[in-house]
A = this chain, B = another copy of it.
Amino acid sequence: MTNSIETYQKFIGKAIEALNLPSTPANLYEPIRYFLNLGGKKMRPVLTLMGCELFNPDYSNAKDAALAVELFHNFSLIHDDIMDEAPLRRGHETVHQKWNSNVGILSGDALLIVAYQKIATYKSELIGELLPLFNQTALQVCEGQQYDMDFESRDNVSITEYIEMIKFKTAVLLGCSLQMGAIIGGANKTDAKELYNFGVNLGLAFQLQDDILDVYADKNKFGKQVGGDIISNKKTFLLLKAFEDANTNQLKTLNNLFSETDNTTKVNGVKTIYSELNIKEKAEHKMNEFYTIALNNLDAIQISDSKKKPLLNLAYFLMGREN
């Protein structure tokens, strides 16, 4: 019998409720409590618990590491929201919007440190393994965010650079979440690293799927505005690939569409180019490449298939595949 994703999510939800942050200074901790209560799928801590359970049935040992990745993720969201001037997160006001930027900066800082406190709860030997991985990942997430901001003002971003950016900004934290769980569960180094790679490649596939869905999703099922990336000139895999493959005429059309003010004309125009260049198929091909590598990573781990079932189910779930 395998646990459902909801089982892990509930476990994490309770752990967050039990965090017991200080009450004062209220302006430091109240925004943290507010933000942690906004919901979210809690995928990263779920991965940590699953990563542990793959090697040790008692996944509760991974609770504090799961909290660490969830707190870190929320720290990065609070600071990213300031940088992106985002008014909303998960349908609610962002911290800097509800309070102000200073509150966002400082409560974000505190949240990052609280994440490190959760890592410090383990025995020294484990801390010695977890801390370097967590540090490296955290720094890569910052680097990914910087590349993402840099790309906004550059017009020569390559597909390779884009993949590197989403790898750092999003995918490595999924790998780290899983590997931290594996380390706590007692995995050997080879298996722990395979699990890390599974997370990174699944993360890359998931991010590419996100790029594709933003253009081609059924608008009744998609949570966001379909075509939002096109309207905001966002440099996704699809747009960068179109720029790479376009002929002179198509390039000219694409560049003109950048300043098109009618959203329907803009979205349809870009989609026409995408269609001429088979961009959707090319993106799906790249996504499937990463997805296949991820499944191979999981397959290579020296553990029975039955124990891998929850992670396989999660991969199916994230990628919207049949179970």
CA distance A82 to B108 in the complex (A): 14
In the complex, A276 has a CB within 8 A of chain B: no
Contact of B131 with A127 in the complex, beta carbons under 8 Å: yes
Residues of B within 8 A of A114 (CB): 139
Interface of A is mostly: helix
Question: Is B123 in contact with A138, judged by CB distance below 8 angstroms?
Answer: no
Chain B positions within 8 Å of A149 at CB level = 27, 102, 106
A135 near B106 with CB under 8 A, answer no
* Residue A95 at the chain B interface, CB threshold 8 Å: no
Contact with B along A110-135 (1 / 0, CB 8 A): 10111011011001110111011001
Chain B positions within 8 Å of A136 at CB level: 117
Q: In the complex, are the beta carbons of B146 and A106 less than 8 A apart?
A: yes
Copy number of this protein in the oligomer? 2
**Is A28 interfacial (CB-CB < 8 Å)?**
yes
Residues of chain B lying within 8 A (CB to CB) of residue A138: 113, 116
- Once the chains bind, are A105 and B131 in contact (CB under 8 Å)? no
Pairwise interchain contact B117-A25, C-beta atoms closer than 8 A:
no
**Cβ B132 vs Cβ A113 within 8 A:** no
Does B131 contact A116, Cβ atoms closer than 8 Å? yes
Q: A25-B147, A125-B124, A150-B27 are in contact. Are A135 and B117 (CB under 8 A)?
A: yes
- A109 on the B face (CB < 8 A): yes
User: In this assembly, does A142 line the interface, its C-beta being within 8 Å of a C-beta of chain B?
Assistant: yes
Q: Is A38 at the interface (CB under 8 A from chain B)?
A: no
Residues of B within 8 A of A25 (CB): 143, 146-147, 150
Shortest 6 CB-CB contacts between residues of A and residues of B:
A124-B128, A25-B146, A28-B146, A83-B102, A124-B124, A110-B142
Enumerate chain A interface residues (CB-CB to B < 8 A).
22, 25, 27-28, 79, 82-83, 101-102, 105-106, 108-110, 112-114, 116-117, 119-120, 123-125, 127-129, 131-132, 135-136, 138-139, 142-143, 145-147, 149-150
